Chain A
Amino acid sequence: MQLEYISAFNVVLGVISRFWPVWIALAIVLGASFVYKKKLGLYGQLFDSGVGIVGVGICLFWLFTAIFASTISPFDPLAQVPVMKDALPGAIEPTSKLIYYFGGDKLARDVFSRMVFGSQIVLIIAPAATGFALMVGITLGLPAGYYGGRIDTFLSFLANLVLAFPVILLFYLLVTPGIMDTPIPYAMAGLFFLFPIIFFSVLFWTRYKNRPDRLYILLGLTLVIGGWIYAGLVFDADPLKIVHIDPNQLNIFVAVVFASSPGVFRIVRGLTMDIKTRDYVAAAQTRGESPWYIMLWEILPNARGPLIVDACLRIGYTTILLGTLGYFGLGLAPESPDWGTAIKDASRLLRSFIHPALPPTIALMSFVLGLNLLADSLREQSMKD
């Protein structure tokens, strides 16, 4: 059967119009940010430079794409329409008269819809894994830098051990199908996911030790919410069935957190060693504050600038890592629409068709670029003060 096509110009117009919820949301958020720029602190200052605006714009674009993915994409990312196998961009699907804007891949799925849905996977896993890595790195880096001595030697040795692993080897060892039969991923998840609970408990405890009314509420909330998410993620035993994660994804998640927390640890340790010589730390010590109060309420807030910049870069780096995992077919399901897997599938057929390869590569590149630009302009703005 002969397929009908729309022209290249109509493809561009069609793609732009499919993204309508994103444009509306972007216009609202960016407009509001411009109006209240002065009141928004560091975030508002980003809008002073062109690089910052572009960075924020790209990141928000992908964020809204992930949120509105089901409205934007015309097709189900896993649905196969046999006539559309390897269809060129702009082909019209005969039954529904909807358009395959970027063509079809070798399994006759819509490349455009897959790219849009791929953003969901990346935008959930990458920031969440970075968040957990930050928690682990901060909780271990603060005491290592503050106390020094034996605890520092031991923790630094462990961090260097992980850092000496080439990332790719680590993934080949940790993200294999075989390892899912052993308790290793669950043990690691159980260990890593404890850190946020410890972090917030200590955070509230040190601050509100003498104000039981506040302390009990905050501690109770931390333990209930933390324990609930913990049970859901590690044991898949959430009583309400809301928090749930595939064993595959848990494995990837744990491996990514494992690979990136030593980096955070090193940065936090270095910053702590620098900040602990300041006068306000000495003042707190003289007041008789406990070491953990000083670490969490005096040192950490003053280390936030470099940490925010590092977090932005790290989300981008985690995105690249996820792509690498997808490219080697590790962990994620073979039909998963994430960008790395899509690039792997398409790059094998580059000799015959190039159109399925370009959308995921450009999507991945632009998202990481947006994060890097954001980090760069954040660094520039925080250096001004």
Chain B
Amino acid sequence: MLSFILRRLGTMALTMLCLTLIVFFLINLNPNLKKLAISQTEMHTSAEQLEDWLVNHGYRQNFFVRYGQWLGVLPKQPVTDPATGKPTQRFAFCNDPVEPTFSGVLQGDFGCSTKFKTTVASKLFPALSATGILMLCVLAVMVPISLLIGILAGMREGSRTDRTLSVASIASTATPEYVSGVIFTVIFASWLGWLNGSAASASQGITFYNFTLPVMTLAIYGIGYIARMTRASMVEVMTQQYIRTARLKGLSFGSVVVKHALRNALIAPFTVIMLQFPWLLTGVVIVEVMFRYQGFGYTLVEAAGNNDIDLLLGCSLVSVFIVLITQLISDVGYAFLNPRIRVQ
């Protein structure tokens, strides 16, 4: 088991290295650098001045050297001030080093956000914790509801409850966040006026009034999928021999479901819930933009829209890490939960 986890961690590190290299390449394409230079300099600068700005801020060094610096395996060089010829900080607003130092992701330095004029870490981590709260609320709503729907539907396959709940969960998987968000806002904010159509005030304090709509919108898309997986797993368990034996022994239907079926039927949904995280990440971006909630997704969109290289790299690193670590947890957890699966 330990060697399996170690091997997976090795693959994970390799994957992250490849992915960050690709992201680094795509962000640093020439048109993107030009856009960054235009947004960072004064209006009406000539093409030469833009080029000077890029050279002065170290963006014209060799691609692999810069990737190594970002990663922390090569020392970050300070730039030379063209006027005085002395080494100066690249960006004064986030205390870049004046002498060559190893200061990259491996050392815990995520770089410098050009859009927000601060370090990436001081922007990214508060945003992550805000999104963490949102995610917790969503999971607290989504998981119990979807498991309940799945179990009720799969308990008696083909019954009227099953048909109704199955169609309902298909409908919920057909409703992406930007559709359900609009519909919920129309119903609950515009017509009924019960809830707030914006979660901008949630960064000061979360209330039922401003936080329900984002949570509902995010949860609804996942519910259908998890419920369908739970239903499939439940249907399979209910046809097993030991369920029939338990029924023939004279146990009531309710206690067969709760004591015998449930425990075995809930293994598959665990994996599904874990693998939902990558989808939730896309949903988070949509919902945070739609309801103006200042979290990770909002930061990602701002970084991408303004070509904020280091911030976008930080965001990619975090999201890729989340995807890979949830895959690992789901594999390891599945092996733990299901004694029939053993890793060789």
Contacts and interface: CB of A to CB of B under 8 A. Distances in A.
Most buried by A among B173, B178, B189, B290: B178
B282 A167 contact: yes
B31 A324 contact: no
Given A169-B300, A357-B186, A343 B281 contact: no
Interface string B8-31: 000100010011000100110111
A354 B316 contact: no
A323 B197 contact: no
B320 A372 contact: no
- Which size bracket describes the interface of B in this complex? 35 or more
A95 interface: no
B29 A179 contact: yes
A21 to B, nearest CB: 26
A161 interface: yes
Given A327-B178, A350-B189, A372 B19 contact: no
A369 B171 contact: yes
A174 B320 contact: no
A169 B319 contact: yes
Nearest to B35: A178
Contact of B181 (A176, A177, A347): A347
Contact of B175 (A169, A365, A371): A365
Interface in B197-230: 197
B282 A365 contact: no
A178 B32 contact: yes
Contacts, number: 125
Interface string B287-306: 00110000001001100100
B185 interface: yes
Most buried by A among B31, B281, B301: B31
Contacts of B297: 168
Contact of B190 (A179, A184, A343, A354): A354
A346 B174 contact: no
B321 to A, nearest CB: 10
Contact of A347 (B182, B278, B301, B315): B182
B190 A351 contact: yes
A361 B278 contact: no
A368 interface: yes
A343 B320 contact: no
Contact of A328 (B170, B174, B301): B301
B197 A343 contact: no
A364 interface: yes
Interface of A: 51, 157, 160-161, 164-169, 172-174, 176-179, 181-182, 184, 316, 320, 323-324, 327-328, 340, 343-344, 346-347, 350-351, 354, 357-358, 361, 364-365, 368-369, 371-373, 376
Given A161-B19, A176-B304, A368-B176, 13 more contacts: A51-B167, A157-B11, A164-B320, A164-B323, A169-B316, A178-B31, A324-B178, A350-B190, A351-B197, A357-B186, A361-B178, A365-B174, A372-B170
Interface of B: 11, 15, 18-19, 23, 26-27, 29-32, 34-35, 166-167, 170-171, 173-176, 178-179, 181-183, 185-186, 189-190, 197, 278, 281-282, 285-286, 289-290, 297, 300-301, 304, 312, 315-316, 319-320, 323-324, 327
